[in-house]
Structure 1
Amino acid sequence: MRFTDDDLHLLGASQASVFDYVAGRFARLGFSFCSYGIRLPVPLAQPRILIQDSYPEAWMKRFDSQHYLAVDPTIAHAARSDDFVLWSPELFRDAGNMWEDANAHGLNVGWAKPSRHNGTVGMLSLSREADPLSPTEIAAHAADMAKMSEMLLVSSAPRQVATEIPESRALLSEREKEILRWTADGKTSHEIGCILSLSVATINFHINKAVAKLASVNKTQAVVKAALLGLL
């Protein structure tokens, strides 16, 4: 995706400023509401999702109280695909009363575009009260929406990951990285020692150092964190 000079100045702006810019940009194109969510790379079992939005406050309270985050089909889509997704009753049919609740709060038409950057998944969603999206309108705005989704992720993901996951700033030595990579390939400490001509005690020393730096409970978690955080 190519950014213009007008876009690039946003990369140094605050996260709130970038979101306000994007929300305003699409408001002028007829989209009343905008949201942007980021799924952090770790943990894996219960992923953390951070959301900025211009939705009605009443809807967000309802969204939280009904735990719609766990059943939102657009979020499930973003986890497996970077393709655009259009809202529809069929899309939300397995999400309980989410579609009806959204409609009751003025969210009747919408679409979303996921994006990815260094293990972090982001998704820009646009919506409005009425007027279905036509193929012509989708074609007219798809490229801009894809660019803005990527812009939001590139500008905010590193800061959010650094803030929310302090171990993402860990400074692993080259030896620690090398040993973690061999560990990720299924090698034991003995096997790694043979490969690198080091003692098992030395290998374990470096593994333990990496485990501590990555705030992990064992070498398995350390390897997964390091890989997902782009440290290897």
Structure 2
Amino acid sequence: MLQEFIERLRDLNEVEEFERAMQEHLRKMGFDSFSYAALRVPDSGKTPFFVTTYPLEWITHYANSDYIEYDPILHHATSSLMPFDWASVASQPSMTTKQQKVMLEASDCGLRFGAGIPVHAPRGGFAMMSCVTSNNRKHFDDVWRAHQSDLHLTTLYYHSSVEQKLLNAETAPSTHLTDREREALLWTAHGKTSWETSEIMKISQETVNFHLKNVMRKVGVYSKHHAVVKAIMLGLIVPETPSIKAKSAQGNVVNLLR
């Protein structure tokens, strides 16, 4: 399902197409609606930028009430690197009265159970995806448990595609990965830890981490998983199980998504 979605992203060019593609993809998982917000994208000049299928009633009320200043989900995402359940934010004792009001009124509009997926990038780049269901707690927990990892990857691919096609964010055309950097990244794409990759490549774990940090710096991201996504979007790798002495990336993206 994720492979199909990624292939579909390559053919999208209009906001409406991006909205429809994400909505259809998330409904297959069990979510009802979503909101994608690119709040800061360096070298773009077109942010903040939003794509959402939230109820129009809520979008209008949110904007008119200036809730972006008090939104506890958005506030939490700015300091979180990993996907999170909205409930983990709503239960925090530090929630202010205004933040509680935002959550309550969102629930009244049908945005009851949701997940936040932050995207952080160098030079202050920040975006967030929220995936929501109005069903019930058990339904959300089942969907969240089954698709949390896929949602993270989905969001990273979606953000990278929106950056390039809708926000015209500049990417360095001369980015080059060494053979060792590419091989370390390919094994990461196949779910190997730094230690496992070091055993496969017959180098130290510290050297593996050194290569991965170099890749992250070159493609402008903060995590090795985001580096995998960005490298694929830039055509720097095309994951196939690499040989021990991999010199180049050949094949297709299928194995990464299994």
Q: Which residue is equivalent to 2:48? A: 49
> Normalized against structure 1, the TM-score is what?
0.60
Which amino acid in 2 is paired with 1:24?
A: E
1:125-155 per-residue CA deviation (whole Å, 9 max, x = no partner) reads 1112231156543221112211210111110
Q: Which residue is equivalent to 2:18? A: 18
Q: Which residue is equivalent to 1:34? A: 34
Q: 1:100 aligns with which of 97, 100, 104?
A: 104
Q: Which residue is equivalent to 2:69? A: 70
Q: Which residue is equivalent to 2:130? A: 125
1:135–1:110 CA distance, 2 compared to 1 (3 A)? closer
**Cα offset for 1:117?**
4.6
Secondary structure of the structure 2 residue equivalent to 1:4: helix
Which amino acid in 1 is paired with 2:78?
A: A
1:132–1:117 CA distance, 2 compared to 1 (3 A)? same
Which amino acid in 2 is paired with 1:131?
A: N
For the Cα contact (< 8 Å) 1:117–1:154, is it kept in 2?
no
What is the correspondence of 1:51-200 to structure 2 with a 5 Å cutoff?
51-88=50-87, 89-90=90-91, 93-94=95-96, 95-117=99-121, 119=123, 120-133=125-138, 135-162=141-168
Q: What is the rounded CA distance, in whole Å, between the counterparts of 1:90 and 1:25 in structure 2?
A: 29
Q: What is the rounded CA distance, in whole Å, between the counterparts of 1:76 and 1:111 in structure 2?
A: 14
**Cα offset for 1:160?**
4.4
Is there any run of 5+ residues in structure 2 with no aligned partner, and where? 172-219, 221-258
For the Cα contact (< 8 Å) 1:113–1:125, is it kept in 2?
yes
**Cα offset for 1:6?**
5.2
Choose 1 or 2 for highest CA Rg: 1
Which amino acid in 2 is paired with 1:52?
A: V
Q: What is the rounded CA distance, in whole Å, between the counterparts of 1:30 and 1:150 in structure 2?
A: 19
Which amino acid in 1 is paired with 2:38?
A: I
Q: What is the rounded CA distance, in whole Å, between the counterparts of 1:97 and 1:136 in structure 2?
A: 27
For the Cα contact (< 8 Å) 2:5–2:25, is it kept in 1?
no
Q: What is the rounded CA distance, in whole Å, between the counterparts of 1:102 and 1:28 in structure 2?
A: 23
Q: What is the rounded CA distance, in whole Å, between the counterparts of 1:161 and 1:18 in structure 2?
A: 13
1:41–1:6 CA distance, 2 compared to 1 (3 A)? closer
Which amino acid in 2 is paired with 1:142?
A: Q
Percent of counterpart pairs with the same letter? 17
Q: What is the rounded CA distance, in whole Å, between the counterparts of 2:55 and 2:142 in structure 1?
A: 28
Q: What is the rounded CA distance, in whole Å, between the counterparts of 1:57 and 1:136 in structure 2?
A: 27
1:52-104 per-residue CA deviation (whole Å, 9 max, x = no partner) reads 11011001111011111111122222222221121133259321510111111
1:8–1:104 CA distance, 2 compared to 1 (3 A)? same
1:141–1:108 CA distance, 2 compared to 1 (3 A)? same
Number of equivalent positions: 165
Q: RMSD of the alignment, in Å?
A: 3.3
1:123–1:21 CA distance, 2 compared to 1 (3 A)? same
For the Cα contact (< 8 Å) 2:33–2:53, is it kept in 1?
yes
Is there any run of 5+ residues in structure 1 with no aligned partner, and where? 170-229
